[in-house]
Structure 1
Amino acid sequence: MAMDARKQRILEAIVALYATDGEPVGSGLLASYFDMALSSATLRNEMAALTKLGLLEQPHTSAGRVPSSKGYRYYLDHLIEAPGTTSLGEEDRAAIDRLFASMDVEPEKLAQSTARALADYTGCAAAATTPQAEDLCIAHFEVVQVGRYSAAVLAVTSAGGVRTRVARINTGLTRTDAEQLAQLLNRSLTFVAPEDLSPSLTAGLAMAAGQRLLPVVLAAEALVRTRPQVSLEGAQYLAKMPDVRTNLGTLLEIFSDNEAACDLIEPDGGKITATLGDDLDPPMPNCCIVSKRYLAGGGLHGTVAVIGSNRMEYQRLIPILNYFAIKLGQSMSGKKEEQI
């Protein structure tokens, strides 16, 4: 049985109506949606055909229909147009512009602020990563004495971001120690790729620094290995969604592992990507992750994502996500606002 244009319009309408009310859609409501252009009998027949195709489900014998996971997948792959920012109203644009105008431009804080703002704006959970590139590395180190027994290791990336890690020195740290350590790190660890951090390099640095200052060396190496950092915000919104809140524990467990979280929300290239929870491992039924890559200049890119029910209002949320991605990329790269 083929999907003709009428079946596609009916599936699209059921997705929209179910997103609005969260109730199974019956033929009477659907007829009203189409301004009675199609009779209830015709709609019932088409809904039965869509059910046979596996695109709709009937929760109860006397109930209307709801989209199945297969139905959502068909909708996302074939029916929804990937709207650009032109689909976003001026009121939304202005509101999002104001949100970004008030954010801290430091990359880690900017990613977290973006995720928080996106979550509050959409009423879903949201996530954002700091920017990354294949050749991103540390360009400069500083070691700062923090109290008598601690050192803050500051690393400036080749993209201008700053990473920080604190090391504990049980025997105490002097200002001279900090200066000499910074010189050692800048000679040995700048512009070093993570995969080039070998045991022999670590052993050489440990010998040069001395055993008592080894924690600073290890902190610097950890900064070299650091992957993009991901921030999850708005988990409380998922807790209010009956169809997805049972997945909250699984989601939080994934986001406790930075690498797993980055992989979870990674989009398919430059396209807006919608991943249904049934396609994940482990599965998160009734959940959907919609993600978009942002470009931060200099070959750097990151990800911003909305996480919610698979019956989210895609036509409203995708343009919002797209504009957040553009604004985050502009803010990360330091570009002035331009006409988009």
Structure 2
Amino acid sequence: MGLSGRKKKILAAVVEEYIRTAEPVGSKTVAQTTDLGCSSATIRNELAELASMGYLEQPHTSAGRVPTPQGYRMYVNELMQRQKLSLEETEEINRSLNEKMRELDKLVSNVGALASSLTNYPAMAIAASPPATIKRFDLIYIDANTFIIVAMMSNNSVKNKLVHLPVSVGQDMIQRLSSVFNANFTEITEDKITPLLIRSTERAVDDTMGLTGVIASFAISILSEAQTAETCITGANRLLSQPEFRDPAKAHALMSYLSDAEHLHDLDAIDCGGDVRVLIGPENVAEELRDSSVVLASYDMGGETKGLIGVVGPTRMDYSAVAAKLSLIARALSERLGGGAAPPPGLDNKLIIKGDINEQ
């Protein structure tokens, strides 16, 4: 059953007042902040019905109501006014971003720091890379028991490994291996280096010493390393300024989770589709985020490389303001990094919501 217009207004009033004050909201406050034209008793009845429908909850019997994750979801999907940043805010973000981009080697951490500063929440930044390949193998014969593997990567980096052998090998074998690896192991991704390919290569060069496996293992390891996303979490201590995290145990659990950037790889799989995405409470996969909300925006780094910028905070988050700021950062990054189409800013930015019935 859908919500009536009055219930929607009351729910929006409760969410916005709770975001502002972090205090349970009662019927008197709703009456003062809305133009419903009805009595406090009527509002109390509506609040009770919204609670029975799962949109609100009452932390104490004598307290007002606070939104549930379902209530926040309804608010974000249907009731929230999309915020558009002012010209002054836009210019300030662009100026700050220009300063951060002077050090491209620190782009991910700098952008994360900017997002954290603008929103006052911990920020997460991810720069994903396209699948790497090896462009060329050079196997350099040193002596009967030593050779060097040199691999030129598709990202123009060079990897090498010195191999010591317990048995003697001729220079002609190293040359044959070099030819076969350049013919069959270049321009392919890690998942294409299969046991079948390795065995067929061993047969092709009559390798009975396991040299093919040594070279293939090195190729797999450097390809895996090359496609690991660069990640950064900054501003985790900002959680302590939020009333929800005054409980040391609760704050410690989330801050411990955020202290390990490896956890961001869980978010790297989320498809924002060029828009802003909001994950509220239990919609988050990680147990440590079940009492928090995550807002993410994607940006294009050029070629096939994508990135994510996001923040994590209490479910009592000003979603509209956060979405507008992250959207502008993502749009500006896409433009500066030559990524082509960028997500639209502020008011025009569609929010893709996990669990939204309209999501395909």
Whether these two folds match at TM > 0.5 is yes
- Shift, 1:127, TM fit: 1.3
The aligned runs of 1:116-155 (5 Å cut-off) are 116-133=113-130, 136-138=131-133, 155=153
- Cα RMSD, aligned residues only: 4.0
| Contact 1:239/1:248 (<8 A) preserved | no
How many residue pairs get aligned? The number is 309
Query: Which stretch has the larger CA shift, 3-12 or 273-282?
Result: 273-282
The CA distance in 2 between the partners of 1:239 and 1:166, in whole Å, is 46
**1:75 corresponding residue in structure 2:** 75
Question: What is the Cα deviation at residue 65 of structure 1?
Answer: 0.8
The answer on whether the counterparts of 2:128 and 2:307 sit within 8 Å (CA) in structure 1 is: yes
Counterpart Cα distance in 2 of 1:155 and 1:40: 69
Return the alpha-carbon distance in structure 1 between the equivalents of residues 80 and 154 of structure 2: 42
Using the TM superposition, name which of 28-37 and 321-330 deviates more.
28-37
**Counterparts of 1:48-127 in structure 2 under 5 Å?**
48-80=48-80, 87-104=84-101, 109-127=106-124
| CA drift at 1:75 | 1.6
TM-score, normalised to structure 1's length? 0.73
Q: Compared with structure 1, are the counterparts of its residues 218 and 48 closer, same or farther at alpha carbon in structure 2 (3 Å cutoff)?
A: closer
1:315 matched to 2:320? The reply is yes
SS at match of 1:326: helix
Say if 1:50 and 1:56, in contact at 8 Å, map to a contact too: yes
Residue in structure 2 matched with residue 241 of structure 1 by the alignment: 242
The structure having more radius of gyration, on CA atoms, is 2
1:256 deviates by 2.6
Shift of 1:156: 5.1
Q: Distance in 1 between matches of 2:88 and 2:183?
A: 52
Task: Note closer, same or farther for the CA distance 1:187–1:100 as it changes in structure 2 (3 Å cut).
Answer: farther
- Shift of the 166–123 alpha-carbon distance from structure 1 to 2, 3 Å rule, reads farther
Which amino acid in 2 is paired with 1:61? Answer: T
Q: What residue in structure 2 maps to residue 198 of structure 1?
A: 194
Secondary structure at the counterpart of residue 333 of structure 1 = coil
Shift of 1:52: 1.6
The residue that corresponds to 2:295 in the other structure is 290
Distance 2:327 2:119 in 1: 13
SS of 1:256's partner is helix
CA displacement at 1:106 relative to structure 2: 7.2
- 1:103-134 Cα shifts (integer Å, max 9, x gaps): 2477663222211210111111111221445x
Say if 2:18 and 2:316, in contact at 8 Å, map to a contact too. yes
1:26 deviates by 1.6
Given the superposition, is the C-alpha separation of residues 223 and 187 from structure 1 closer, same or farther in structure 2, using an over 3 Å criterion?
farther
Sort the Cα spacing of 1:40 and 1:168 in 2 relative to 1 into closer, same or farther, 3 A. farther
Give aligned-pair identity as a percent. Answer: 26
Change (3 A) 1:236 1:199: farther
TM-score if structure 2 supplies the norm length? 0.70
Whether contact under 8 Å (1:31, 1:40) holds in the other structure is yes
Q: Deviations over 1:147-187 (max 9, x none)?
A: xxxx9988453xxxx768797999xxxxxxxxx9xx99988
Structure 1 regions of 5+ residues with no counterpart? 144-150, 171-179
For 2:153 and 2:81, locate their aligned partners in 1 and report how far apart those are by CA, in whole Å: 42
* CA shift in 2, pair 1:220/1:17, >3 Å: same
CA drift at 1:312:
0.7
Distance 2:27 2:120 in 1: 30
